[in-house]
Structure 1
Amino acid sequence: MHGGLAVLLDADEHTGGFGGARAYLADPEAVRPSGVMIGYPGLDEVVVGGRGLWRAMIAVHAASGHSGSRRTAPGAVSRAAHLVRLLEDLQLPDGGGEFPLPPKLTVTSCHGGQGFSVVPDLCELGVDIRTTPAFDADAAEQLVRAAVGELDVRVPAPRPTVIAPVAAWPPYRLVKDQQPAAALLDAAAREGLTVRPKTAGPSNIGNLLAGEGIPATAGFGVRYEGLHGVDEQACLEDLPAVHAVYRRAVLSLLGSP
């Protein structure tokens, strides 16, 4: 055999923190993988790529006061609502080149104010942008900063709006003959399964590995229902077929006949 096999069970996967994978990659004594196959569910597809992400919290400020006063200046929630409209009106580029998906911007949280009598001086927005090779994290941040700059000009406040980036993962996509995708696709075909390569819209741990220069597949496994729901279910009768595919793929990558 020309290499070794390691199995990592990451109990922190569902949170998006990937603490197990991060700890493994940070361990100076751990063998750095030349490729990773991640066992996400789905029997019809091998996920060979995914959009990246850029996430930030945006602090929108205003002068505080009483809701019954004569003041007319907008509060932080009103300014934040204006910023949401600016963000959602932004024109993002279409997908380009060989990457099949376009970028996407979503405002995912809004927190500010309490009670009815107080005009709040702070409202925080969470922004999630899914990135592509043609529209990366730098481009995403520049676009949001332009919208924030427009807000502070159009609806001025005592303090400027503050952007705090939270995370940035690169998009990635393995080509058809790139390992370990090629071995997994070939193994599935040899086991009589019809599968296709897929570039996923959601990001996954494959993006984290791509940032480390490690190629990864991020999806092939048993059939499922209710993914990430309280009634999530897995089809256990698919286990023998899935095991056979991974076994064949691993043996191929290790150079066994």
Structure 2
Amino acid sequence: MSPEDTEVIELAQELIRRPSRAGIDDYEPVLAVLQDWLDARDLPCRRLYDDAGRPIALLVEVAGGRPGPWWALDACVDTAPYGDEDAWSFRPDCGDVVDGWLRGRGAADSKLAAAMFCRIAAELRAGADDLHGGLAVLLDADEHTGGFGGARAYLADADAVRPAGAMIGYPGPDEVVVGGRGLWRATIAVRAESGHSGSRRAALGAVSRAARLVRLLEEAELPGAEGGFPLPPKLTVTSCHGGEGFSVIPGLCELGVDIRTTPIFDARAAENLVRTAAAELDRRLPGPAPTAITQVACWPAYRLAEDEQPAAALLEAAAGEGLTVRPKTAGPSNIGNLLAAQGIPATAGFGVRYEGLHGVDERACLADLPTIHTVYMQALLRLLAP
């Protein structure tokens, strides 16, 4: 490892040793480590805040000396929870290196990438006068909540230059994610006449009505993959809450539904499917009030062409380092969907090898770091110094 690689690893270790589980830990300690590192190298950065005034991200900005578009690197510095800590063979916040692997929650997703992106910003700043446009590095502490507050704050910041595209530092050296299914999520309130479960009155409770709706939803016909998009839509009922005890016929049951959308089967089609199923339920088994549907979230599906930036630059740079990397359209959604809704093309999912992401014994392979670093640097130079 070069001294520069060692510096990246040491920063990543310090980040892992500051627990930053989304929705659990205070983000201040992990952001402070990053800010101290950046300040020590005179790298311009500033904090971004959520609506409650809490720090939610750090934004590093390196302006080039020549006109041109800006590009963004994004890596989250919050993490998934630890899960069952007794199942880990090492402490989730140990941040140590064993047999060439960096260990601990966030090693793979994505504190090593955050540290590497900080180094890249420092390297590009040294030759910034020759760059066209500029580089923004977003170190996001609100990714694993699904709220993507750091990215939202960045896009809403009137002082930040809107990027022409972004590269998101999720791990894995074999694929570059160039697209993803979108999503449409809603809660569904199913009602019935409440009463005593021992009553002679034949009453179908809200849970039973909701069960019929689940069947209607899961029996609904969805299209296959079509229109050049490689994945089909998918519907999943993800939650069911209702009932107050054994002796009460429930009057309310709430379902959660997650529909992964495609360019052909979009949010409007997803909503129509759910509303059609709810109307069919109300027709077959009328309740005291119509079944109510409340949209919770909606992101578009997206897919970049292989010759579209920044995907083309990243794939070309990977090939230049002898890597066989395939473009992939992901089933799960990511920040790329949020950016796509803003008209900003994004890649994701290119980084080091890893194990245990969101599970036990998370770790990242440090032998891959020099090559992954070189690929990102070469891709950025293609974009910033054409």
**Same fold, TM-score > 0.5, yes or no:** yes
From 270, 282, 286, give the equivalent of 1:140: 270
Match of 2:201 in 1: 71
Query: CA-to-partner distance for each residue in 1:12-39, whole Å, 9 max, x for gaps?
Result: 1111111100001011111100000000
Cα shift at 1:113: 0.8
Match of 2:353 in 1: 223
Alignment of 1:102-251 (within 5 A): 102-251=232-381
Higher relative contact order (CA 8 A, sep 6+): 1
Q: C-alpha distance in 1, partners of 2:141/2:251?
A: 39
Q: Which runs of 5+ in 2 are unaligned?
A: 1-130
Counterpart of 1:130 in 2: which secondary structure?
strand
Q: Which runs of 5+ in 1 are unaligned?
A: none
Structure 1 stretches of at least 4 aligned residues deviating more than 4 Å after TM superposition? none
Query: CA-to-partner distance for each residue in 1:104-155, whole Å, 9 max, x for gaps?
Result: 0000000111221111111000000000011000000001000000000111
Cα shift at 1:226: 2.5
Q: C-alpha distance in 2, partners of 1:191/1:153?
A: 61
Query: CA-to-partner distance for each residue in 1:50-77, whole Å, 9 max, x for gaps?
Result: 0000000000001111111112121010
Q: C-alpha distance in 2, partners of 1:78/1:58?
A: 14
Match of 1:38 in 2: 168
Cα shift at 1:219: 1.3
Q: C-alpha distance in 1, partners of 2:163/2:202?
A: 60
Match of 1:51 in 2: 181
Counterpart of 1:178 in 2: which secondary structure?
coil
Q: C-alpha distance in 2, partners of 1:53/1:93?
A: 15
Query: CA-to-partner distance for each residue in 1:135-177, whole Å, 9 max, x for gaps?
Result: 0000000010000000001111111110000011000000010
Amino acid at match of 1:59: A
Match of 2:150 in 1: 20
Q: C-alpha distance in 2, partners of 1:135/1:117?
A: 43
Q: C-alpha distance in 1, partners of 2:237/2:362?
A: 26
Amino acid at match of 1:211: A
Q: C-alpha distance in 1, partners of 2:266/2:235?
A: 12
Q: C-alpha distance in 2, partners of 1:193/1:209?
A: 27
Amino acid at match of 2:218: E
Cα shift at 1:231: 3.3
Amino acid at match of 1:100: P
Q: What TM-score results when the alignment is normalised by the length of structure 2?
A: 0.65
% identical aligned pairs: 79
Cα shift at 1:98: 1.0
Q: 1:55 to 1:97 in 2, by over 3 A?
A: same
Aligned-pair Cα RMSD in Å: 0.9
Match of 1:3 in 2: 133
Q: C-alpha distance in 1, partners of 2:236/2:365?
A: 32
Q: C-alpha distance in 2, partners of 1:48/1:26?
A: 24
Q: C-alpha distance in 1, partners of 2:155/2:259?
A: 26
Counterpart of 1:251 in 2: which secondary structure?
helix
Match of 2:212 in 1: 82
